[in-house]
Structure 1
Amino acid sequence: MTDLPPDLPRLRTLETWLLLALQRVRDRIADLERQEKERARGEAARPPVPDWTIELGIGDDRGPLYVHTGTCHMAGHRRRPVTREAAARAIADGVEACTHCRADTGLGFH
C-alpha cells in the first residue's frame, strides 16, 4: 500500500506542487537569513550608549533642562551625549538632575 497516486500524470502534478512548495520554503529561509544579517549589521553599527546625557529645552534658547544617565528611559528626544565632567559641571551650574535615574547621585552630588 502506498499513499502516492498510481498514475504518471498525477505523480507529475504532485512533483510540480512539491517543487513549488520547496521553493517557497527556500525563499522564506533566504528572507529570514537576510533579515538576521541586517539585524546583526545594525547592532554592530549602533553607536555605544553614552554614560551621561543632557536633555535640551524647546525653542531658540534650547538650554539644558535635565542631566540623565545614558540609560535613563525618561530622557526625551532632544538630548545630547556629554562627558562625566560636563554632566557634573551642568549640575553644579544649576541644571536639574533627573529624579528617575538620579544622575546627581551617580555623579557624587548626594
Structure 2
Amino acid sequence: MSDQPSRLELLRFARRVVQQQATAALQQLDGWIEEEERRQAERLRAEERRPPPAEWWIERGLNKDNLVAVHRGDCWDPGKRRVPATRQQAVDALRQQVTACSRCRPDSALGFLE
C-alpha cells in the first residue's frame, strides 16, 4: 500500500475539520447572542428604573438663590442649571416675578395670568 492517504480518508478528514470549524463558529455566535440579550435586558431594566421626567423646571443662575426662568418639562431649552419643580413651585416662582420661558410658555400652561 502507498503512504498516501486515500481519497475517502481525505474526505473524512475534511469533514471533521469543517465540523470543528462550524462548531466553533456556532459557539462564538451563541456567545454574541447571549451578550446582546444581556445588554438588551440591562437597557430594559434601566428604562424601568428611570424616574419619570419632570413636569416643570426652574432654571437657576450662578448664584443658586437666583432664579432665572421657569420652563415646562418638555422645553427644549431649559438651560444647564435647572432643577425639577412641582406645579406649585413653578406657580410660586412665576408669582415672585421669575421670568417664564418665551419658548415653552409655562405661564400659559399653568393658567398664570397677571
- Mark yes or no: TM-score above 0.5: yes
Identity fraction in percent? 38
Aligned-pair distance for 1:68? Answer: 0.7
Match of 1:39 among 37, 43, 47: 43
Pair 1:13-2:17 in alignment: yes
The CA distance in 1 between the partners of 2:102 and 2:20, in whole Å, is 65
Alignment of 1:45-84 (within 5 A): 45-58=49-62, 61-62=63-64, 63-84=66-87
Give the aligned partner of residue 108 of structure 1.
111
- Matching residue's letter, 2:53: V
Give the aligned partner of residue 3 of structure 2.
none
Aligned-pair distance for 1:76? Answer: 2.0
**Structure 1 length-normalised TM:** 0.87
The structure 1 segments of at least 4 consecutive aligned residues displaced by more than 6 Å after TM superposition are none
Aligned-pair distance for 1:22? Answer: 0.4
Give the aligned partner of residue 5 of structure 2.
none
The one-character-per-residue Cα deviations of 1:85-109 (angstroms, maximum 9, x if unpaired) are 1101111111111111111111112
Aligned-pair distance for 1:34? Answer: 0.6
RMSD of aligned Cα (Å): 1.3
The CA distance in 1 between the partners of 2:50 and 2:23, in whole Å, is 40
Unaligned runs of 5+ in 1: 1-5
Greater CA drift, 25-34 or 6-15: 6-15
**Structure 2 length-normalised TM:** 0.84
Number of equivalenced pairs: 103
The SS at the match of 1:65 is strand
Unaligned runs of 5+ in 2: 1-9
The SS at the match of 2:24 is helix
The CA distance in 2 between the partners of 1:48 and 1:77, in whole Å, is 19
